[in-house]
Amino acid sequence: MDYTIVLTAAAGQGVETIETLLSKAFKNSNFFVFSDKEYMSRVRGGVNSTTIRISSKENKGYKQFANFLFLFTKQAFEHSKDRISKDTVIFGEEDFVTNQYSSQFFAIDFLKTAKSLGSAVYANTVAFGFISALFGINTDIAHNAIKNHFANTDVAQKNIDACNEGYKLFKDSPYIKIKPKVEQITPKKYALLSGSQAVAFGALSANAKFLSFYPMSPSTDVAIFLAHQMDKFDIVVEQFEDEIASVNAAIGAWFGGTRAFVTTSGGGYALMEEGVSLAAMSETPLVVHLAQRPAPATGLPTRTSQSDLNLVLYSSHGDFPRAIFSPRNLEDAFFVTQKAFDIADKYQCVSYILTDQFFMSMIYN
């Protein structure tokens, strides 16, 4: 069993919420899950897509063609055309696709159902309920995913009601004929992690107690995740006024005996180079997590790239030893991050952890 679901929507339509809820629900139903997203660098408008791949065996990668494509805006069809094969089942509102694909298309209006519940904002949760029903996910598992996602009890209950409407929408309609073949899977104990969480947990396991940063996609997710763990793990996460201040703060923390690191991307690291030279000259350990994105200059904040190896290998003036790690997978990310701290501490040098946007945002168990 191996199915790929693609969700395509405008920015601001809440497709990331569906990804989070579905990933948790599938994982808790004992499926293997891989998900990733591609999105534009804007708050609203444009078209973004999320891919969720579920299977009965471990999967850690992306498949080009969708088994199920969900369109949440008319522009989504053109955006996702290259994900359609002859076997793709497409869902969307009446006028979302051309006649060429009419035999593969099923009209459905999540927005209309959401509005009947009082607000268009519930459209994504209605879709979550519909997809959960499609794959036979137990309603209790779906409801628990919602309760864990929404802290406010009233908001959670309204979304549970919307989810239930999604279940009904599937069961009381012709869509019920589209049942995919779902295998019974033995329960397994696997953590569901993103790349940014794997790096963060690696730093925590290395006893890192200080993270300094200036926001720069795609590295910021590490800081956001650790900021939520401050009380639990006794770590300080501090946003500084710029990258120069953040690298110097990390050097100061190490000088005072505290394991510290910075998280940044290529353009931010370019501003840190003088600080890196200071760490090298004073033989102060330093750990730099650099999540790569396309360059030069500001580049493309929400796209992926692997072009900064030479930057970290030859950056700063003069010659000094450095260690560079690049994880192959999420398990690697945990252990090499830990190793980066140990090497920096032992040899009083600069250690780098090189990741990229795709690695940061992908999720699997």
Per-residue pLDDT of the chain (365 residues; tens, 9 = 90+): 899 999 998 877 778 888 999 999 999 998 999 999 887 776 666 788 899 999 888 888 888 899 999 998 888 888 888 899 999 999 988 888 878 888 888 888 888 889 999 888 899 999 999 999 999 999 999 999 999 999 899 999 999 999 999 999 888 777 766 778 777 677 677 888 999 999 999 999 999 999 999 999 999 999 999 999 999 999 999 999 999 999 999 999 999 999 999 999 999 999 999 999 999 999 999 999 999 999 898 887 888 889 999 999 999 888 999 999 999 999 999 999 999 999 999 999 999 999 999 999 999 98
Predicted pLDDT at 345 = 97
Predicted local distance difference test score (pLDDT) of residue 48: 86
At 105, is the secondary structure helix, strand, or coil? strand
Alpha helices in 117-152 (DSSP H): 123-134, 139-149
Residue (of 151, 158, 95, 94) closest to 125 by Cα position: 158
Length of the chain: 365
Name the CA dihedral angle for 75, 76, 80, 86, rounded to a multiple of 10 degrees: -100
The C-alpha atoms of residue 165 and residue 159 are separated, in whole angstroms, by 10
pLDDT at 312: 95
Q: Give dist(CA 340, CA 357) in Å, integer.
A: 20
* Structural domains for the chain: 2-178 (3.40.920.10), 194-364 (3.40.50.970)
Check residue 42 and give its pLDDT.
Answer: 67
d(CA 271, CA 257): 24
**Interhelix angle for 123-134 vs 139-149, to 10°?**
150
Is-cis flag, bond preceding 218, omega within 30? yes
How would you classify the pairing of strands 68-71 and 89-92?
parallel
Query: If you ran DSSP here, which 8-state letter would residue 102 be given?
Result: G
CB atoms within 10 A of CB 200: 31
> Look-up: residue for tokens 């493309």?
300
Q: Which residue has the tokens 């260690």?
A: 323
Please compute, for residue 345, the number of CA atoms within 13 A of its CA located in the half-sphere on the CB side: 17
pLDDT at 331: 94
Query: Which residues, 6+ apart, have CB-to-CB distance to 236 below 8 Å?
Result: 209, 210, 211, 230
The DSSP bridge partners found for residue 36 are: 51
Dist. CA 50–CA 363, nearest whole Å: 11
Angle at 218 between CA 214 and CA 224, to 5 degrees: 60
- d(Cα 69, Cα 34) in Å, to the nearest integer? 16
Rounded (5°) CA angle 202-204-210: 120
Sheet containing 193-194: order of strands: 105-107, 89-92, 68-71, 2-11, 45-55, 32-38, 363-364, 193-194
